[in-house]
Amino acid sequence: MTPRRLPDGFLLGCATAAHQVEGGIDNDWSRWVADHPEAINGGGDAVVAIDHYRRYREDLEQLGSMHHNAHRFSIEWARVEPEPGHFDQDALAHYADVARTCRRNGMEPVVTLQHFTLPLWLRDSGGFTAPDAPAQFARYVAGCVEALGDAVTWWVTVNEPTVVAVLGHLEGSWPPGERSLRHTFAALRGLLRMHAAGAQAISTVSARHGRPAQVSIAHHERRFVPRDPSSPVDRAVAKLPDFLFNRWFLRSCIAGRVLGPVGHGERVPGLAGSLSYLGLNHYTSEAVSLDIGAPGMLFAHHEAMPGMPLSSTGWAIDAGALRRAITDLFDEFHLPIVITENGVADDHDELRPAFLRDHLGAVVDTIADGIDVRGYLYWTAWDNFEWAEGYTQRFGLFSVDRETQERIAKPSAHLFSEICRTREVPS
């Protein structure tokens, strides 16, 4: 079979997030782990993580030498603004150097401004639901864009807003450990307003300096398929989570309003037109059926898509679902798409080579269908701190010896490097 080719200029690299790799961060997550060690699978914390804050130069050089031409990282708000309105210039200079180091190594930086974590002062004043969170976020974002904007075009305001709202406020497995639909909706409204305020700050500062800027959230799309497609009941119970989790945030951005049932159609300043591309994080598909005993889950039972191989997280590996996600999102929103995350947890690097071939193949197919897909960022470069999963889920192209911090390329790191070099996806 002929290999499939990715277009010239297509962004190809890895995605990371500060708290998961840097070490030395004091934020809501580090306190949550210290107070609830039992909440982390296998124990562990991100006190040292993989020491990337100190090792970023060698780490990025290694990715560049493996022909990556893009790299996604996040700025840690708690480092940059340890007290409200007080900016740590060393921290800002650090992240500006990370962006420039990406460029020096041939990689386009894609920069996330908020990837799940919050400074303690914002946590203590209500987190995502604090009335002034959007204004606080806009000030922080403006500071970051001033400091990094000469090296950065691609911005992500907020990573996976629905995930952080559901896990922290509905399921209670992440900080702040709440279990309330009312609080989940309040967090979603806050995140929507934060995104709008952040997007406005990016546009204002970039325009003042005459710099181009591309702005999106990183939207986590989980494909929900009725367990029995011929059952009207399964179809109905799959629809609500699909709307709330996969479409509510994006449709609100397009409408410029807080759509129901999360809000009452209130207009949000800066929200309409806030997306210039669509960042897509995609991992898996799930079958959904009726469960009358699960009101907290909107009466839906979720299971990994039957008949698919499973990752070590138990997620179905379904490259077709990535193709359908890209197609549906493009058909509805008509925005260029960057795959800001796609990856597999795989203890022994047995599933990952086929995963990469199949998922990148699905991306090539969508491009052949005429869809404007601009990039693919594999989650993730190095095995890292996977939130409530601790260090038990290994998504990395590199393993890390956490005693010596040695990075060891897995076979799939070499396969990915070859795809980056040739732009060809083997069949």
| Beta-ladder partners of 341 | 281
386 interacts with ligand IFM by CB under 6 A:
yes
* 271 versus 377: smaller Cβ distance to ligand IFM: 377
Nearest residue (beta carbon) to ligand IFM: 17
According to the binding rule CB under 6 A, does residue 17 interact with ligand IFM? Answer: yes
Pick the closest to residue 16 from 136, 107, 81 (CA basis): 107
Tell me how far, at minimum, the Cβ of 220 lies from ligand IFM, in Å.
6
**What distance in Å separates the CA atoms of residue 220 and residue 18, rounded to the nearest whole number?**
18
Element (H, E) at 212: none
Q: Please identify, using beta-carbon distances, which residue of 20 and 203 lies nearer to ligand IFM.
A: 20
Q: Which of residues 92-131 bind ligand IFM (CB under 6 A)?
A: none
- Based on CB atoms, which residue is closest to ligand IFM, 27 or 281? 281
Calpha distance 149→151 (Å, rounded): 5
Question: Binding to ligand IFM by residue 80, rule CB under 6 A?
Answer: no
Maximum CA pair distance of the chain?
A: 59
Of the candidates 136, 203, 274, 281, which one interacts with ligand IFM according to CB under 6 A? 281
Under DSSP, is residue 389 helix (H, G, I), strand (E, B) or coil?
A: helix
CB of 41 to ligand IFM, least distance (A): 12
CA-nearest of 296, 298, 299, 318 to 307 is: 318
Residue 307 vs residues 117, 227, 291, 326, 344: alpha-carbon distances, Å:
35, 12, 21, 22, 17
**Site size with ligand IFM, rule: CB under 6 A:** 6
For ligand IFM, the closer of residues 271 and 278 by Cβ is 278
Q: Which is nearer to ligand IFM, 20 or 200 (CB)?
A: 20
Q: Least separation, in Å, of the C-beta of 160 and ligand IFM?
A: 6
> Of 53, 56, 379, 382, which one interacts with ligand IFM (CB under 6 A)?
379
First to last CA, the chain: 6
Bridge-based pairing state of the strands 11-15 and 257-258: unpaired
Least Å distance, CB 330 to ligand IFM, is 21
Hey, what are 268's tokens? 């949000």
What's the closest the beta carbon of residue 32 comes to ligand IFM, in angstroms?
Answer: 15
Among residues 76, 242, 341, 383, the one that binds ligand IFM under rule CB under 6 A: 341
Cβ proximity to ligand IFM: between 365 and 383 the closer is: 383
CB closer to ligand IFM out of 184 and 281 = 281
Task: Tally DSSP H helices, then E strands, for the chain.
Answer: 14, 15
Three-state secondary-structure class, residue 361: helix
| Interactions with ligand IFM, residue window 156-185 (CB under 6 A) | 160
Of 342, 347, 425, give the one whose Cα is nearest residue 392.
347
Say how far residue 372 (Cα) sits from the centre of its chain: 20
Q: How many CA atoms lie within 13 A of 123 on its CB side?
A: 20
Q: Is residue 285 at the binding interface for ligand IFM, with CB under 6 A as the rule?
A: no
Closest CB to ligand IFM among residues 237, 400: 400
As measured in angstroms, the least distance from the Cβ of 341 to ligand IFM is 5
C-beta of 380: minimal distance to ligand IFM in Å? 7
Name the token pair of 186. Answer: 């309040």
Specify whether the CB–CB gap between 288 and 238 falls below 8 A: yes
Residue placing its CB nearer to ligand IFM in the complex, 4 or 220: 220
Under the binding rule (CB under 6 A), the answer on residue 216 touching ligand IFM is no
Strand 70-74 relative to strand 108-114: parallel, antiparallel, unpaired?
parallel
Chain residues binding ligand IFM by CB under 6 A are 17, 160, 281, 341, 379, 386
